[in-house]
C-alpha cells in the first residue's frame, strides 16, 4: 500500500466517524452523550492533523468542515 492510499483509507474512516458523530449529536438529548460525541470529533480532528503533518496533505483534507 502506498502512502497516498494509506492516507486516503485513514481519512475515509475518519469521515465515517465524523458523519456518525454528527448524526448522534442531532439526536442526543443527554448532555453527557453530546459531550462524549464532541470528544470523539475532536479526537478525529487530531488524527487528521497528524495524518496531514506526518503523511503529507492533499486536496480536501479539512475534516472539521465535514459532518458539522
Q: Dig out the grid coordinates for 51 from the structure.
A: 495524518
> Where does the pLDDT of residue 68 fall: very low under 50, low under 70, confident under 90, or very high at 90 and above?
very low
Asked if the structure places residue 12 within a domain, the reply is no
C-alpha 11/C-alpha 31 separation (Å) is 28
C-alpha 51/C-alpha 62 separation (Å) is 11
Segment 10-64, tens digit of pLDDT: 999 999 999 999 999 999 999 999 999 999 999 999 999 999 999 988 644 455 5
- Full DSSP string of the chain: --HHHHHHHHHHHHHHHHHHHHHHHHH--SHHHHHHHHHHHHHHHHHHHHHHHHH---TT---TTTT-
Asked if the structure places residue 61 within a domain, the reply is no
Asked if the structure places residue 6 within a domain, the reply is no
**pTM of the predicted structure, to 2 decimals:** 0.77
Asked if the structure places residue 10 within a domain, the reply is no
Asked if the structure places residue 42 within a domain, the reply is yes
Instruction: State how many domains the chain has.
Output: 1
> Which range of residues forms the domain containing residue 39?
25-53
The predicted pLDDT at position 57 comes to 81
Q: Which residue has the cell 480536501?
A: 60
Amino acid at each position: 500500500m502506498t502512502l497516498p492510499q494509506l492516507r486516503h483509507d485513514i481519512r475515509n474512516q475518519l469521515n465515517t466517524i465524523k458523519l456518525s458523530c454528527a448524526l448522534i449529536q442531532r439526536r442526543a438529548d443527554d448532555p453527557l452523550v453530546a459531550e462524549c460525541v464532541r470528544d470523539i470529533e475532536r479526537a478525529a480532528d487530531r488524527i487528521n492533523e497528524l495524518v496531514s503533518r506526518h503523511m503529507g496533505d492533499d486536496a480536501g483534507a479539512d475534516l472539521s468542515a465535514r459532518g458539522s
